[in-house]
């Protein structure tokens, strides 16, 4: 395997990388803080939804940009 092959898997731009990083942080926070967030609205399920939103948003944005 080529040493630079890992860079082919990198996000295409800085904003996509930031959205993916926030999504991973939301997933991680929902995993470790489940007992503390059960009293708040949404709880850790809300953080999972937020993480999924941040993960899907760059793909949706690029698809809409290319379609119209």
DSSP 13-61: SHHHHHHHHHHHHHHHHHHHSHHHHTTSSSHHHHHHHHHHHHHHHHHHH
Domain spans of the chain, in order of start: 12-67
What pLDDT score was predicted for residue 13?
Answer: 83
What pLDDT score was predicted for residue 6?
Answer: 58
What pLDDT score was predicted for residue 52?
Answer: 93
What pLDDT score was predicted for residue 23?
Answer: 92
What pLDDT score was predicted for residue 64?
Answer: 92
pTM of the model: 0.71
Residue identified by tokens 């119209």 is 68
Nearest CA-CA partner of 13 in 49, 65, 50, 53: 65
Q: pLDDT for 15-64, tens place per residue?
A: 888 899 999 998 888 887 766 656 666 667 778 888 999 999 999 998 99
């Amino acid at each position: 395997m080529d040493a630079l092959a890992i860079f082919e898997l990198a996000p295409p731009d800085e904003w996509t990388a930031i959205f993916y990083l926030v999504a991973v942080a939301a997933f991680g926070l929902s995993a470790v803080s489940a007992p503390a967030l059960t009293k708040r609205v949404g709880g850790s399920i809300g953080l999972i939804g937020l993480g999924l939103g941040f993960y899907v948003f760059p793909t949706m944005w690029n698809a809409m940009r290319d379609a119209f």
